[in-house]
Amino acid sequence: MSVDLTLIIAIGVLVACGTTLVLERSLTRILVGFVLLGNGVNLFFIVASGPPGAAPIVRDNGERMADPLPQAMALTAIVITLGVTAFGLALAYRTWQLEGHDDVQDDLEDALVIRRAERDDLSASFDEVDESLPEEEGADLPAVDDEVTDENAETADDEPHNDGAPDAGGTR
Amino acid sequence: MITLVAAHLLAAAAAPALVRLLDRRAFLVLALVPAASFAWLLPKVVAGDLVTQEISWVPGLGLDISLRLGEVSGPFSLLVTGVGALVLFYCGWYFKPGDTELWRFSAVFTAFAGAMLGLVLSDNVYVLYIFWELTTVLSYLLVGHNPERRANRRAAMNALLVTTFGGLAMLAGLVILHLTSGTPLLSEIVAAPPEATVTVQIAVALALVGAVSKSALVPFHFWLPGAMAAPTPVSAYLHAAAMVKAGIFLVAVLAPAYADLAWWRPTLATLGIVTMVIGGLRALRQYDVKLLLAYGTVSQLGFLTLIASIGTRSAAIAGLAMVVAHALFKSTLFLVVGIIDRSAGTRDLRDLSGLWRLLPWPFAAAVVAGASMAGIPPVFGFVAKEAVLASIEDLGADTGAGWGAVALGGIVVGTILTVAYTARFVWGAFATKADVPPCDIMRRSSWFVVSPVLLAAASLVAGFSGPWLTTILSRAGEAYPAGAHELELTLWHGVNLPLLLSLTTIVLGIALFVARRAVAATQHAITDRLPMPDAEQSYYAVIRGVERVSVELTGRVQRGSLPFYLGTIIVVLALLPGSMLIRAFVLDEGGLDVDLADRPAQVVIVALAVGAAIAAVRSRRRLRAVLLVGLTGYATAMLFVLHGAPDLALTQVLVETFLLVTFVLVLRRLPPFFSERPFTADRWVRIAAGVTVGTVVAGLALLTAASRIADPIGQEFAEPAVSYGGGYNIVNVTLVDIRAWDTLGELSVLVVAATGVASLIHLLTDRAERISRVPAGSGSQRWLQRLDAVRAERRSVVFEVVTRLVFHAVIVYSIFIMLIGHNEPGGGFAGGLIAGLALMVRYLVGGRQELDAAAPVDAGLVLGLGLATAALAGLLPTLLGGGVLQSAIVDIPLGPLGELHLVTSVFFDIGVYLVVIGLALDVLRSLGGGIDQHVADEDQAVGV
């Protein structure tokens, strides 16, 4: 099938410009790039769908129609672009309102995780296990090794008694 | 049978309302459901009826709800429903009146009973797995009943992780079994087991991992004592009678087919005995009587697994008898502990004294159940234990295994420990201890003791009904060849080896109890000196390791930088499709057939688009960049027209216009220039990335278009579009009919985006008050009313008047465009955008007030109405006998006016139309009116 070179060039340039802008920090630029990318990709759909033709509206004149399926897909994409860009603009405005600029910052939480990883640390939500085993019979008896027993007895006193459920079902 | 399970789940759904109505007495109503199920199941199980039920669900996956009330599942289902009913009844007095968490607990507990019943009744492996994991999740919720205590949280999490891990292993095993045997039904797999290849053996082993973890065998035993953090009814039901039996159930079901595998019996017997002994030893050292029972349960589960895995006729019967006995006595004991806990306020046996006199009924129940646990006649536990010993005695004769004596020895050791910790329990909970002051107790309702007393009575009655139970339980043995002796459950077999062993264990066990101080000291002396491998510590080490790996991995992968993520995508795009692209061009033999342009006008338009795009990248002014990008949008629209896509072009032009104004609305607040950027290497990297991606994508476009050999599939749409969709505009019919699900999804995205825009501007303002999206004050309805809101120097009377004159015509036109869309270019999107633009012009003329006058509705309402209309229009055809989102064509005769040709998808398009208007309204109210408000507020603040 013969390919329309001008359309290919249009796709290439739109996508290239869009990508360049999307890599920026300024949210306005990113959104401009996003719209450019959208236009380029929609054109791609149309080019990939085959040669041009008559509008895909059923008439009895026997004219060859353009492929309707990618058109329906691209139509959806265009409207979604509108919705997403509007949301991005609201974000840009909000950032400007709070920070005085519309630059996309690196995520602080992620930076914290990276720092934890560098320190070979655990995650913030990790519940470290304490050795709160319930008291057991015999732990307080004079066993063969006095030192060990004393330690056991002490830790046993320090720890909250493992009383399980009675209050679990109780009132607050 | 599915009705029984469903009834439980329905009861669970109704439970919160019942609790609100009846408080803790709601449990009495809920108990009726398992009680009724028990009543329905009982005659069938007693008569030995085989009941099966099959409900088609996902036949393609072999996933049908196949339920089977068979030889093994019968007794199990009776336990689940019977004990369930009694425990629910008991809950009616266990909890304090007015407990605020009861609504959740009652629902989860009832649902658990249903899931457990479903588990033992399922015959399909996948349904079994689903119920299995349901019990896991519900158990997690029940153990974590009081999530404010850290111990509860951890116990719940451990139980969840361990049993889910096992469940997943089991799923893998079950899938392999399904695939190798060709049937997903357990009964069929067991009846004609696939040849025991290595694969099948691995599958069986994986399934056993599930069983071992669920039934808390070594090395997974540690989750069960932790789970005692749950309220006592949960411990009695889940962790004694029902859920932990699931593993034993699975072992018992698989044993007929696989007990003869070389490793089956030795592995499970070893695990069982080790668990039995370890559990017994730990139980002997506990002060908390509930924990004592928990370790006792671990021990007993080892015992049960051992006997269920033997796989001879007599062992199968004895195992089932032992399961019944254990469920009865262990739930009794837990319920008694609950009563002690509620009456005396402690479960520490060092603080309990003299309760036998104060709580005579619970004491009696505990003595009977304890006797059953220790295997003392004439209670059912004794009968069952005798049967077990007899069947192990016959092990050599029945299977040829030479290690029967070893197993017997292990069981004897375990049983001695059982007797000892039983004695410790009864003594610890009830005895009058010389050195402990007698307890004061709170008197409880006598209904509180009904359940444990009934369960204890059942243990006693069953002890005397051995012959009758033999006929019921021995059906499970028919899957095996007859053994050396016919097993009979009875109190008196004459003097034989089992009886002698029983007597020995009782005597030695009591001796062990009497010498408890010395025994405990010895135990500790040994564990202190010998570093024992501790399953729990290893588990925590693994969890810690996983946590570390996840932090490292997250740190590496989740950099939190947008350019980093996009860069990754770009590199992948350039490397993978890019390299394939180069390869394709190198290998290409035929050469590409390239035209300069199909239509000459394209050259000019593309030149325009390219120029505008490049200028947009170079622009330092925000507004200029946006205008240039709008230019590329219009150029794209023209290319669409030339290609034969009028719908697309129409939508593109409308969207581009709307977007342009939206951009301007926001940009009026942002600085006119982009922030000053040094001309650094960064920028060249970005440009290089852009050029690379552009080249790759253009190359892909070239290649895909050039490689087309088939006719586009869309060509086939024409005929069905007319005959089924009832429209001539194929693109629109595609949107509202052929691919209507897509459109419905897209509408949801639009609703979310619109709501997001509104929330960002309105709801999160630094002024705490919530600003309504509903227009304030309707004002006068006078036509061509004077605009007071706009300052005189900004007003343009001509603009105002023309806008108002034209507005209504444009709205009518937008509806027209929407309606003709089925046959001509147009449709809901285009119509909605036209209406949105009309509203936008009204806003530009007179600001917020003018917009509110033009559309005095809440944007959220319009969005919701649109989405609802589209969804209902999708459902409408089902009433006319079609599928969801199928178009129905109705011709309504209108007398002399002819016929109205009505396609139901028109309503879908109306939904689309409304959603788009809602989006436009939200954008205008937020980015237009909302920002105006912020500006006004700031001006005011400055003025003050």
**What is the band of B764 on the pLDDT scale with cuts at 50, 70, 90?**
very low
**What is the band of B76 on the pLDDT scale with cuts at 50, 70, 90?**
very high
Residue A95 contacts B where some CB pair is shorter than 8 Å: no
Q: Which of B82-86, B226-230, B314-318, B840-844 shows the lowest mean pLDDT across its residues? A: B226-230
Q: Are residues B930 and B835 in the same domain?
A: yes
Question: Phi, psi at residue B856, to the nearest 5°?
Answer: -80, 55
Q: What is the pLDDT of residues B358-400, one digit of tens each?
A: 999 999 999 999 999 999 988 999 999 999 999 988 888 888 7
d(CA B859, CA B878): 30
Determine the residue of chain A that is closest to B631 in CA distance: A36
For residue B235, tell me if it sits in a domain.
no
**What is the band of B725 on the pLDDT scale with cuts at 50, 70, 90?**
confident
**What is the band of A99 on the pLDDT scale with cuts at 50, 70, 90?**
confident
Residues 6+ apart with CB under 8 A from B708: A1, A48, A50
Residues 6+ apart with CB under 8 A from B465: none
For residue A2, tell me if it sits in a domain.
yes
What per-residue confidence (pLDDT) applies to B854?
87
Q: Which of A8, A103, A155 to mutate to probe the B interface, most B CBs <10 Å? A: A8
Contacts of B563 in chain A (CB under 8 A): 23, 25
**DSSP characters over B136-196:** HHHHHHHHTTSTTSHHHHHHHHHHHHHHHHHHHHHHHHHHHHHHHHS--BHHHHHHSPPP-
Provide the domain count of chain B: 3
Between residues A31 and B883, the one the model is more confident about = A31
Inform me whether the pLDDT recorded for B421 exceeds 60: yes
Contacts of B625 in chain A (CB under 8 A): 28-29, 32
Residue B533 contacts A where some CB pair is shorter than 8 Å: no
Q: Which of B594, B606, B633 sits opposite A3 (nearest CB)?
A: B594
Q: Which of A80, A86, A104 sits opposite B562 (nearest CB)?
A: A104
For residue A155, tell me if it sits in a domain.
no
Residue A61 contacts B where some CB pair is shorter than 8 Å: no
Q: Are residues B522 and B383 in the same domain?
A: yes
What per-residue confidence (pLDDT) applies to B679?
60
For residue A138, tell me if it sits in a domain.
no
What per-residue confidence (pLDDT) applies to B611?
95
What per-residue confidence (pLDDT) applies to B831?
95
Inform me whether the pLDDT recorded for B806 exceeds 60: yes
Q: What is the pLDDT of residues B290-328, one digit of tens each?
A: 999 999 999 999 999 999 998 899 999 999 999 999 999
**What is the band of B205 on the pLDDT scale with cuts at 50, 70, 90?**
very high
The dihedral formed by the CA atoms of B280, B285, B288 and B291, expressed in degrees to the nearest 10: -30
Across chain B, mean pLDDT equals 88
Domain span at residue B627? Answer: 601-677
Contacts of A125 in chain B (CB under 8 A): none
Residues 6+ apart with CB under 8 A from B405: none
Q: Are residues B936 and B826 in the same domain?
A: yes
Q: Which of A52, A123, A171 sits opposite B99 (nearest CB)?
A: A171
What per-residue confidence (pLDDT) applies to B772?
46
DSSP A161: P
Residue A153 contacts B where some CB pair is shorter than 8 Å: no
Q: Which of B636, B735, B736 to mutate to probe the A interface, most A CBs <10 Å? A: B636
What per-residue confidence (pLDDT) applies to B101?
85
Inform me whether the pLDDT recorded for A133 exceeds 70: no
Q: Which of residues 232-251 of B touch A (CB under 8 A)?
A: 232-235
Provide the domain count of chain A: 1
Q: Which of B573, B670, B935 to mutate to probe the A interface, most A CBs <10 Å? A: B670
Residue B837 contacts A where some CB pair is shorter than 8 Å: no
d(CA B203, CA B190): 14
Q: Which of B230, B596, B717 sits opposite A165 (nearest CB)?
A: B230
Instruction: Please state the rounded mean pLDDT for residues B443-451.
Output: 89
Inform me whether the pLDDT recorded for A170 exceeds 80: no
Q: Which of A11, A65, A71 sits opposite B697 (nearest CB)?
A: A11
Q: Do A1 and B708 touch (CB under 8 A)?
A: yes
Instruction: Please state the rounded mean pLDDT for residues B29-47.
Output: 94
**What is the band of B789 on the pLDDT scale with cuts at 50, 70, 90?**
low
Q: Do A83 and B558 touch (CB under 8 A)?
A: no
Residue B722 contacts A where some CB pair is shorter than 8 Å: yes
What per-residue confidence (pLDDT) applies to B488?
86
Q: Are residues B668 and B808 in the same domain?
A: no
Read off the tokens for A155.
Answer: 């830790």
What per-residue confidence (pLDDT) applies to B728?
86
Inform me whether the pLDDT recorded for B786 exceeds 70: no
Q: Which of residues 253-272 of B touch A (CB under 8 A)?
A: none
- DSSP β-ladder status, B51-58 and B63-69: antiparallel
Determine the residue of chain B that is closest to A55 in CA distance: B644
CB B884 within 8 A of CB B801: no
Q: What percent of chain B has pLDDT over 70?
A: 94
What per-residue confidence (pLDDT) applies to A172?
36
For residue B68, tell me if it sits in a domain.
no
For residue B910, tell me if it sits in a domain.
yes
For residue A150, tell me if it sits in a domain.
no
- DSSP β-ladder status, A3-4 and B594-595: parallel
Q: Do B648 and A74 touch (CB under 8 A)?
A: yes
For residue B699, tell me if it sits in a domain.
no
Q: Do B761 and A138 touch (CB under 8 A)?
A: no
Q: Are residues B737 and B833 in the same domain?
A: yes
Q: Decide which of B677, B712, B745 is a domain's last residue.
A: B677
Residue A134 contacts B where some CB pair is shorter than 8 Å: yes
For residue A127, tell me if it sits in a domain.
no
Q: Do A168 and B544 touch (CB under 8 A)?
A: no
**What is the band of B96 on the pLDDT scale with cuts at 50, 70, 90?**
confident
Domain span at residue A10? Answer: 1-52+66-121
For residue B157, tell me if it sits in a domain.
no
Q: Which of residues 625-644 of B touch A (CB under 8 A)?
A: 625-626, 629, 632-633, 635-636, 639-640, 642-644
Residue A157 contacts B where some CB pair is shorter than 8 Å: no
Residue B645 contacts A where some CB pair is shorter than 8 Å: yes
Contacts of B710 in chain A (CB under 8 A): none
Q: What is the pLDDT of residues B566-619, one digit of tens each?
A: 889 988 988 898 888 888 888 765 567 777 777 788 899 999 999 999 999 988
Inform me whether the pLDDT recorded for A158 exceeds 70: no
Q: Are residues B672 and B727 in the same domain?
A: no
Q: Do A32 and B625 touch (CB under 8 A)?
A: yes
What per-residue confidence (pLDDT) applies to B931?
87
Q: Which of residues 296-325 of B touch A (CB under 8 A)?
A: none
Q: How far is B415 from chain A (nearest CA, A)?
A: 20
Q: Which of B348, B593, B728 sits opposite A3 (nearest CB)?
A: B593
Q: Residue A4: helix, strand or coil by DSSP? A: strand
Which residue blocks in B345-465 are alpha helix, DSSP H? Answer: 355-358, 360-374, 380-393, 395-399, 404-430, 450-464
Residue A16 contacts B where some CB pair is shorter than 8 Å: yes
Q: With the C-alpha atoms ordered B301, B302, B303, B309, is the resulting torsion angle positive or negative?
A: positive
Determine the residue of chain A that is closest to B96 in CA distance: A170
Residue A112 contacts B where some CB pair is shorter than 8 Å: no
Contacts of B646 in chain A (CB under 8 A): 55
CB B76 within 8 A of CB B45: no
Instruction: Please state the rounded mean pLDDT for residues B158-183.
Output: 93
pTM of the model: 0.74
Q: How far is A82 from chain B (nearest CA, A)?
A: 6
Inform me whether the pLDDT recorded for B692 exceeds 90: yes
Q: How far is B666 from chain A (nearest CA, A)?
A: 6
* Domain harbouring A23, CATH code: 1.10.287.3510
Cα B122-B125-B127 angle, rounded to 5 deg: 55
Instruction: Please state the rounded mean pLDDT for residues B922-930.
Output: 90
Residue A52: asked if its preceding bond is cis (omega within 30°), the reply is no
For residue B342, tell me if it sits in a domain.
yes
Q: Which span out of A52-61, B331-340, B675-684, B727-736 was modeled with the highest average pLDDT?
A: B331-340
Inform me whether the pLDDT recorded for A150 exceeds 70: no
Residue A99 contacts B where some CB pair is shorter than 8 Å: no
Q: Are residues B624 and B770 in the same domain?
A: no
B826 phi-psi bin (left φ>0, alpha ψ -120 to 50, beta other): left
d(CA B455, CA B109): 19
Inform me whether the pLDDT recorded for A162 exceeds 60: no
Measured CA distances, B589 to B23, B584, B586, B737 (Å): 81, 10, 8, 42
Read off the tokens for B528.
Answer: 């202190």
Residues 6+ apart with CB under 8 A from B847: B789, B790, B928, B929, B932
Q: Which of B544, B616, B706 sits opposite A1 (nearest CB)?
A: B706
Q: Which of A20, A80, A91 sits opposite B617 (nearest CB)?
A: A20
Q: Are residues B660 and B738 in the same domain?
A: no
Contacts of A102 in chain B (CB under 8 A): 670
Q: Which of B218-222, B505-509, B900-904 shows the lowest mean pLDDT across its residues? A: B900-904
Q: Do B521 and A138 touch (CB under 8 A)?
A: yes
Determine the residue of chain B that is closest to A101 in CA distance: B670
Contacts of B669 in chain A (CB under 8 A): 93, 96
Cβ-Cβ pairs closer than 8 A, A with B, add up to: 468
For residue B746, tell me if it sits in a domain.
yes
DSSP B929: I
- DSSP β-ladder status, B889-893 and B899-903: antiparallel
d(CA B111, CA B574): 52
Inform me whether the pLDDT recorded for B554 exceeds 60: yes
Inform me whether the pLDDT recorded for B621 exceeds 70: yes
